[in-house]
Structure 1
Amino acid sequence: MSKSIIQTDNAPAAIGTYSQAVKAGSTVYLSGQIPLVPATMEMVSEDFSEQAVQVFENLKAVCSAAGGDMSHLVKVNIFLTDLGHFAKVNEIMAQYFNQPYPARAAIGVAQLPKDAQIEIDGVMVLPE
C-alpha cells in the first residue's frame, strides 16, 4: 500500500516534525489542528468559540486537500484544556457535521501547543 503526504496552504503549516495529513490507501490520518490562522500562523483569538470554529475550518481545508470533505471523517479526537466547553464544542460541531456523525472522543488535557484551548485530529475514509 502506498502512502502520500497531504499538504495545503489553506490550513496552518506543520509546526513540528509531522505532516498535515497522511493518506494510506483510502484512509487519511489528519494531524491535530489548533486554532492558527493559516495566512499568519497566529492564534485566531482568545475566545473559545472562535478558536473552535478555526480548528474546524482548518480540518475542513485538510479534508479538501486530501480529496474529501468533513462527511468522510469517521473518527475525531477533541482535546480541550477546559471540559466546561464541551457543550459549546457540540454546538459548533453541529455546524460542520450531519448525521451520521463520526465516532468521537473528548479528552481533557492540561495544555496544548501555543496555549490553544482546543485541538482536533481525525481519521477520514475516502469513497472507493
Structure 2
Amino acid sequence: MAIEHLPVDEASPLQTVHIIGQIASTTIGAGVGAQTIEILDRIDALLSDAGTDRSELVQANIWLRDLKAFGEMNTVWERWVTPGATPRRTTFEDCDLPRLCDIRVDVIAWRKTQGFEPT
C-alpha cells in the first residue's frame, strides 16, 4: 500500500469542535446541580454556533470540586444527554477549581455541518 501525502490545502478540514474550561458564571456559589444546568445550557449554545449539537458529542471531561456531588451532577447530565448518543465521559475531583465553582466541563463533538465557516 502506497502512502499518499496531501498538500495542506487539500487536507480535510477539522471536523471536531472542542469546548473547554466551561465553569459557572451566573450560578457561582449555587449548588453543583444549578451550576451544571448553566454550563450545559451554554455548551448547547456553543455547539449550535459551531454547527453541531449534543447528539454529536464523543467525549466529555468533568471536574468536580468534591466527588460527593457526583450524584447531583449526574442527575442533570443524564437528563441532558441525547438518549442513545451518550459520549465517553470521565469525571475527576479537583479541589483547585476557582472559588465558589463546583464544576468544570470540557466536551468534544463532531461537526455536523459540512463546509461550516466559523464567524
User: TM-score, normalization: structure 2?
Assistant: 0.76
Q: Higher strand share goes to which structure?
A: 1
Letter in 1 for 2:60: V
Q: Measure how far apart 1:117 and its partner are.
A: 0.2
Residue number in structure 1 paired with 2:19? 30
User: TM-score, normalization: structure 1?
Assistant: 0.71
Gaps of 5+ in 2: 1-7, 115-119
**In the alignment, structure 1 residue 108 sits paired with structure 2 residue 93:** yes
State the number of aligned residues: 102
CA contact (8 A) 1:75 1:122 kept: yes
CA contact (8 A) 1:32 1:122 kept: no
**In the alignment, structure 1 residue 119 sits paired with structure 2 residue 104:** yes
Which segments of structure 1 move beyond 4 Å, counting only runs of 4 or more?
none
Residue number in structure 1 paired with 2:33? 49
Q: Higher helix share goes to which structure?
A: 2
Larger Rg computed on CA atoms: 2
**RMSD of aligned Cα (Å):** 1.9
CA distance in 2, matches of 1:45, 1:55: 14
Gaps of 5+ in 1: 3-23, 38-42
**In the alignment, structure 1 residue 61 sits paired with structure 2 residue 50:** no
Residue number in structure 2 paired with 1:94? 78
CA distance in 2, matches of 1:106, 1:64: 24
CA contact (8 A) 2:61 2:106 kept: yes
Identity across matched positions, percent: 26
CA contact (8 A) 2:28 2:101 kept: no
Instruction: Report SS of the residue matched to 1:107.
Output: strand
Q: Which has the higher contact order (CA 8 A, sep 6+)?
A: 2
Letter in 1 for 2:98: P
1:71-114 CA-to-partner distances (Å, cap 9, x unmatched) read 11110000000101111121101121122300000000112134
Instruction: Report SS of the residue matched to 2:71.
Output: helix
Q: Which is worse superposed, 43-52 or 96-105?
A: 43-52
